[in-house]
């Protein structure tokens, strides 16, 4: 613990890491129940793995930007605490696996030396803010969205309004109308726009994937740039109060939008405006760190295989709006690469480009600011590292989540089938290595971390049971999804479910039919022209499970017979009194309210006080075995069951007491009064609970 205090300069970060270490000790000692500990560690990027006794660590890299120095730091941490493998996610994070829980505070402390955070990379928080990997260099962008993504990330990091929501919240920024940030599938999506020479964004609200994908609504066709953070502040407040909390399957913002409608949500949003501490938030894009280019000459090189070089250039060079520069795309199979090569790559980019990478939504790496005349040199250097496979962002470039390799929720292999499908495309359909028209994505379960249900061709891990009760791995084949642009997209149709070992045959049938009947059509238009039942008819023979062989019961990348099972759970803590735990948390929230008040952060103090009151009411309602699905229902039910019945005395009622926060502006005077009210309410609740236990 002492080493963290002396090595971390940022006192807020230091406190965060020390708290994680303290909570780990409390968990091991049985003083903190498993569910509460899970919530805390997830919000600090520590995620339970399928394998018992180890954790997956998710490193939060806003809009996918990582410097050469930071990449080297991540490599050092991976070598010290993990296995030396780095995994790029579909949200531009990096994950490392097989980490000892007890070492996670020290790991985090090591990362923070180069300003790399784990905070809110997982859990019911604002997750990593993603963006087009070409932000800042996109030839079609009206302006660089990077400063805006960075400002939004900073504003909501550790923000009390977004620490304990019912579910996660995802945000994206798109550089242009091509919408490469995929705004239509996010809780909030921002597409860069210029109107009357002013910067702003088209705003999409309430999208999502998972088992029930929902297309986002257009909230604003144009919102000035200085309004995006106040808007999201209000959206988060509404989601926190009205969003589902009990049923995880219905706890995303998209379900709240479905229940109340867009107009109903706008009304709730309007009711929160007084509570939002800012009406505008100016983001100074000119103050954003400037690109620093390496001023060196490169050696002359000789290209040994000119055909391979030209093919690579045709698929992996990305045009850049800055004259004389291009970006180089590195296709990373399954998003996995290793620290020995990563360090050399970091040196190359530091010495000969701008010392910066962008990680992509398709699990790849983009190197911006490469001088056009340096491309042959970069090719030869990247070739030494095994990073010159052609097909960046093409059909050959398949996206896949970790699936049953490490994820607790994985049902069937996604990585194993992805490797096989890429092999088939390379060997049997080489023309698709340069085809950018088809996007193939694979997820190991319905949660869609591999984004399968927005792909042109998608596969979802499932299982199938024979008449003899034998279980085999299977794949749901989904077709026809895709990004249309400017906030519009299409979700794929579920066509058939086939045994996993027939996935390659399904792909062959689809591509063969497209080659034969899709002449002069894009794949998206071809699918729309033919329709879902057309594909069902010629894929249906693959669904027959009467003729399964022994190989059909072995999943891709495995040698043992398949067993459908979620991964082994994490170590169980001793179950303790849930009511006492909730009240203890209320006390902690009051302490945070006092701390932030002393720091002059009135809005933060008010929200901590609000959270304490709702949490305390939740404790008493839980003791009554009352459902506590949403903050709004907790407030209403407390009035009904405790205030209206005379069991609890609150002048004007609990709702009036708690919801003062959206009836008053967050001034110092109001923050002081609200904190006093929160402390008084907690005191009443604790006395009430003590009396009940005495009389029980």
Average pLDDT of the residues in 416-442: 92
> Is it the case that residue 614 has pLDDT exceeding 90?
yes
CATH of domain 399-553: 3.30.413.10
3-state secondary structure at position 267: helix
CA–CA gap between residue 624 and residue 647 (Å, rounded): 13
Please state which of the ranges 269-273, 281-285, 300-304 shows the lowest mean pLDDT: 300-304
pLDDT at position 6 = 44
- Residue 52 pLDDT level (bands cut at 50, 70, 90): confident
Average pLDDT of the residues in 60-66: 97
Average pLDDT of the residues in 453-457: 94
Beta strand spans in 431-580 (E): 440-443, 457-465, 471-479, 482-485, 488-490, 493-499
Q: How many CB atoms lie within 10 A of CB 516?
A: 8
Helix (H) or strand (E) holding 626: none
- Class at the top of the CATH hierarchy for domain 1-121: alpha beta
Average pLDDT of the residues in 329-356: 97
Average pLDDT of the residues in 447-453: 91
Q: How many CB atoms lie within 10 A of CB 575?
A: 10
pLDDT at position 577 = 58
- Residue 530 pLDDT level (bands cut at 50, 70, 90): very high
Provide DSSP, 112-126: HTTT-B-TTSSSSSE
Please state which of the ranges 76-85, 291-300, 376-385 shows the lowest mean pLDDT: 291-300
The domain made up of 578-695 has a fold known as: 1.20.120
pLDDT at position 696 = 60
Q: What is the CA radius of gyration of the chain?
A: 26
pLDDT at position 216 = 98
Residue recorded with tokens 């962002």: 393
Q: Are 554 and 561 in contact (CB under 8 A)?
A: yes
Q: Do domains 1-121 and 399-553 have the same CATH topology?
A: no
Residue ranges covered by each domain of the chain: 1-121, 124-289, 306-384, 399-553, 578-695
Q: Which residues contact 9 (CB under 8 A, 6 or more apart)?
A: none
**Cα distances (angstroms) measured from residue 594 to each of 11, 565, 604, 607, 609:** 17, 46, 10, 11, 9
Four-point Cα dihedral 109, 162, 48, 247, nearest 10: 170
Average pLDDT of the residues in 383-387: 97
Bridge partners of 399, per DSSP, are: 441
Q: Which residues contact 469 (CB under 8 A, 6 or more apart)?
A: none
- How is domain 306-384 classified at the architecture level of CATH? 2-Layer Sandwich (3.30)
> Is it the case that residue 373 has pLDDT exceeding 80?
yes
pLDDT at position 564 = 74
Mind listing the pLDDT tens digit for each residue in 121-173? 999 999 999 999 999 999 999 999 999 999 999 999 999 999 999 999 999 99
Q: Are 146 and 131 in contact (CB under 8 A)?
A: yes
What angle separates helix 68-81 from helix 104-112, to the nearest 10 degrees?
160
Residue recorded with tokens 């694979």: 442
CATH of domain 124-289: 3.30.413.10
pTM for the whole structure: 0.93
- Return the structure tokens found at 345: 């790559």
Average pLDDT of the chain is 92
Query: What is the DSSP code (8-state) at residue 437?
Result: S
> Which segments of 222-252 does DSSP mark as H helices, in order?
228-242
- Residue 435 pLDDT level (bands cut at 50, 70, 90): confident
């Amino acid at each position: 613990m002492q080493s963290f205090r002396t090595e971390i300069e940022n006192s807020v970060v230091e406190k965060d890491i020390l708290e994680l270490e303290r909570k780990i000790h409390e968990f091991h000692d049985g003083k903190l129940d498993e569910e509460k500990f899970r919530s805390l560690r997830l919000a600090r990027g520590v995620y339970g793995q399928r394998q018992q006794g180890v954790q997956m660590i998710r490193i939060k890299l806003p809009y996918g930007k990582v410097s050469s120095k930071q990449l080297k730091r991540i490599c050092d941490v991976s070598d010290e605490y993990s296995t030396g493998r780095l995994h790029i996610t579909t949200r531009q994070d990096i994950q490392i696996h097989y980490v000892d829980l007890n070492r996670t505070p020290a790991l985090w402390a090591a990362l923070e030396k180069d300003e790399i955070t784990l905070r809110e990379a997982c859990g019911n928080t604002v997750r990593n803010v993603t963006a087009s990997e070409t932000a800042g260099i996109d030839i079609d962008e009206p302006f660089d969205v990077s400063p805006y993504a960075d400002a939004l990330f900073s504003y909501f990091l550790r923000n009390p309004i977004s620490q304990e929501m019912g579910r996660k919240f995802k945000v994206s920024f798109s550089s242009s109308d091509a919408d490469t940030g995929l705004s239509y599938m996010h809780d909030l999506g921002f597409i860069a726009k210029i109107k009357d020479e002013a910067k702003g964004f088209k705003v999409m609200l309430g999208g999502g994937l998972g088992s029930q994908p929902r297309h986002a609504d257009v909230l604003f066709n144009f919102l000035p740039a200085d309004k995006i953070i106040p808007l999201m502040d209000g959206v988060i407040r509404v989601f926190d109060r009205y969003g589902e909390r009990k049923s995880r399957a219905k706890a995303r913002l998209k379900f709240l939008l479905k229940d109340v409608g867009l107009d109903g949500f706008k009304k709730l949003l309007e009711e929160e405006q007084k509570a939002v501490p800012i009406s505008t938030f100016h983001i100074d894009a000119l103050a954003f760190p400037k690109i620093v280019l390496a001023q060196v000459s490169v050696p002359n090189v000789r290209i040994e295989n000119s055909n391979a070089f030209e093919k690579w250039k045709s698929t992996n060079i990305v045009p850049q709006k800055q004259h004389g520069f291009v970006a180089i795309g590195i296709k990373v199979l399954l998003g996995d690469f290793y620290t020995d090569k990563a360090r050399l790559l970091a040196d190359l980019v530091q010495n000969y480009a701008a010392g910066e990478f962008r990680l992509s939504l398709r699990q790849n790496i983009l190197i911006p600011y490469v001088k056009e005349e340096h491309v042959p040199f970069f090719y030869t250097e990247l070739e030494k590292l095994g990073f010159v496979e052609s097909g960046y962002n093409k059909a050959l470039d398949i996206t896949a989540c970790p699936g049953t390799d490490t994820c607790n929720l994985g049902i069937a292999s996604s990585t194993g089938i992805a490797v096989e499908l890429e092999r088939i495309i390379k060997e049997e359909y080489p023309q698709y290595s340069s085809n950018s028209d088809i996007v193939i994505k694979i997820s190991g379960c319905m949660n869609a971390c591999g984004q399968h249900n927005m792909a042109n061709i998608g596969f979802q891990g499932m299982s199938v049971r024979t008449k003899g009760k034998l279980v085999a791995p299977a794949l749901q084949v989904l077709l026809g999804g895709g990004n249309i642009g400017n906030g519009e997209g299409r979700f794929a149709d579920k066509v058939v479910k086939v045994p996993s070992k027939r996935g390659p045959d399904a792909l062959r049938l689809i591509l063969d039919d497209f080659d034969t009947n899709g002449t002069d059509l894009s794949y998206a238009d071809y699918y729309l022209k033919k329709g879902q039942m057309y594909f069902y008819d010629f894929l249906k023979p693959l669904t027959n499970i009467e003729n399964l062989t022994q190989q059909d019961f072995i999943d891709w990348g495995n040698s043992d017979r398949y067993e459908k099972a979620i991964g082994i759970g994490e170590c169980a803590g001793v179950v303790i009194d849930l009511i006492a735990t909730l009240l203890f948390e209320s006390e902690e929230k009051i302490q945070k309210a006092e701390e932030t008040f002393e720091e002059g952060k009135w809005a933060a103090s008010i929200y901590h006080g609000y959270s304490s009151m709702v949490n305390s009411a939740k404790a008493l309602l839980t003791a009554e075995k009352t459902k506590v699905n949403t903050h709004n229902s907790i407030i209403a039910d407390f009035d009904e069951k405790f205030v209206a019945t005379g069991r609890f005395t609150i002048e004007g009622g609990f709702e009036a007491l708690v919801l003062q926060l959206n009836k008053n502006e967050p001034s110092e005077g109001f923050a002081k009064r609200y904190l006093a009210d929160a402390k008084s309410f907690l005191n009443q609740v604790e006395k009430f609970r003590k009396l009940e236990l005495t009389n029980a």
